[in-house]
């Protein structure tokens, strides 16, 4: 893994909320185990807690408030223009709660990752923990995937699986999944930064070979990156 600052992959992180996955990414960078340079953290919500996390780490923060734009397309154009000023090789969605327009997604094809709290293709969209509990499932988790025009439908690189316990409620299950996300996401971002994972014409490649199904881990399998 690269360790010199000038060999780190330039990235921009998009957030909407408290930024716990952002914190996991920043912690991995600080430990020297994730070879990326976070050039900016951008939020569509002015009061997102993750902005303070980034600022305390000396990372440039910006707000592009979606409420100030008359259409989804206008917001995405403004967001794209701002992102591109930082010349990122990768855009990281870390709790960014916006449905992105097809033009925006195409612009970053093959260089935009997301973390979703379910074992995709099961339970795309919102309220995944409640839906898993309602369905009586015994397994849940999170998926790190490339972003395509289909919401939560891009090729999945890797997943972390956690058990659903008999006494779980939404909060306890969400906490267990989130702890797994914090280990999985920096690992997958690191693979991208190292050139180990890529997407070509919606086909995943891992170590130069097609990846036909997601790599699956338990939290115990995953290193603290």
Say if residue 184 is in the same domain as residue 207: yes
**Whole-number mean pLDDT of the chain?**
96
Identify whether residues 201 and 124 lie together within a single domain: yes
**Residue where one domain finishes, among candidates 108, 142, 169:** 108
Same domain, 130 and 94: no
Residues 85 and 141 occupy one common structural domain: no
116 is catalytic: yes
pLDDT at residue 225, as a whole number: 67
pTM reported for the whole predicted model: 0.95
The reply to whether 126 and 187 lie within a common domain is yes
Q: Are residues 96 and 124 in the same domain?
A: no
Q: Among 66, 107, 109, 116, which one carries the catalytic annotation?
A: 116
DSSP the chain: ---SGGGSEEEEEEESS--HHHHHHHHHHHHT-S-EEEEEEEESSTT-HHHHHHHHTT--EEE--GGGSSSHHHHHHHHHHHHHTT--SEEEESS---PPPHHHHHHTTTSEEEEESS-TTSS-SS-HHHHHHHHT-SEEEEEEEE--SSTT-SPEEEEEEEEPPTT--HHHHHHHHHHHHHHHHHHHHHHHHTTSEEEETTEEEETTEE--S-EEE-GGGS---
Within this chain, do residues 154 and 171 fall inside the same structural domain, yes or no?
yes
Domain final residue, candidates 84, 108, 132: 108
Q: Which of 108, 143, 166 is the last residue of a domain?
A: 108
Confidence check: pLDDT of 129 > 90: yes
Predicted local confidence at residue 6, as pLDDT: 57
Based on the fold, state whether residues 97 and 136 are members of the same structural domain.
no
Structural domains counted in the chain:
2
* Local confidence band at 223 (pLDDT 50, 70, 90 cut-offs): confident
- Shared-domain flag, residues 10 and 89: yes
Q: Are residues 49 and 102 in the same domain?
A: yes
Q: Has residue 33 got a pLDDT over 50? A: yes
Q: Report the CATH number that the domain containing residue 134 is assigned in CATH.
A: 3.40.50.170
What is the domain extent for residue 162? Answer: 116-225
The verdict on 129 and 207 lying in the same domain is yes
Percentage with pLDDT > 90 across the chain:
94
Residues 44 and 141 in one domain: no
């Amino acid at each position: 893994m690269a360790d010199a600052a000038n060999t780190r992959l330039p990235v921009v992180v998009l957030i909407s909320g408290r930024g716990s996955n952002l914190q996991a990414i920043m912690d991995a960078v600080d430990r020297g185990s994730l070879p990326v340079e976070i050039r900016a953290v951008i939020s569509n919500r002015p009061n997102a807690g993750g902005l303070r996390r980034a600022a305390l780490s000396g990372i440039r923060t910006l707000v592009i408030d979606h409420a100030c734009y008359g259409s989804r397309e206008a917001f995405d154009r403004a967001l794209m223009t701002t992102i591109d000023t930082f010349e990122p090789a990768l855009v990281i969605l870390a709790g960014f709660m916006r449905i992105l327009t097809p033009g925006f997604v195409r612009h970053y094809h093959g260089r935009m990752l997301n973390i979703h709290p379910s074992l995709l293709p099961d339970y795309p969209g919102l309220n995944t923990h409640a839906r898993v509990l309602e369905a009586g499932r015994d397994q849940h988790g999170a998926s790190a995937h490339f972003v395509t025009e289909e919401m939560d439908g891009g090729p999945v690189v890797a997943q972390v699986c956690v058990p659903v316990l008999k006494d779980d409620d939404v909060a306890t299950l969400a906490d267990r999944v989130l702890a797994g996300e914090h280990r999985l996401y920096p690992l997958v971002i690191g693979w991208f930064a190292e050139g180990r994972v890529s997407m070509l014409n919606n086909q995943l490649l891992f170590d130069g070979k097609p990846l036909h199904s997601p790599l699956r881990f338990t939290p115990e399998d995953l290193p603290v990156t």
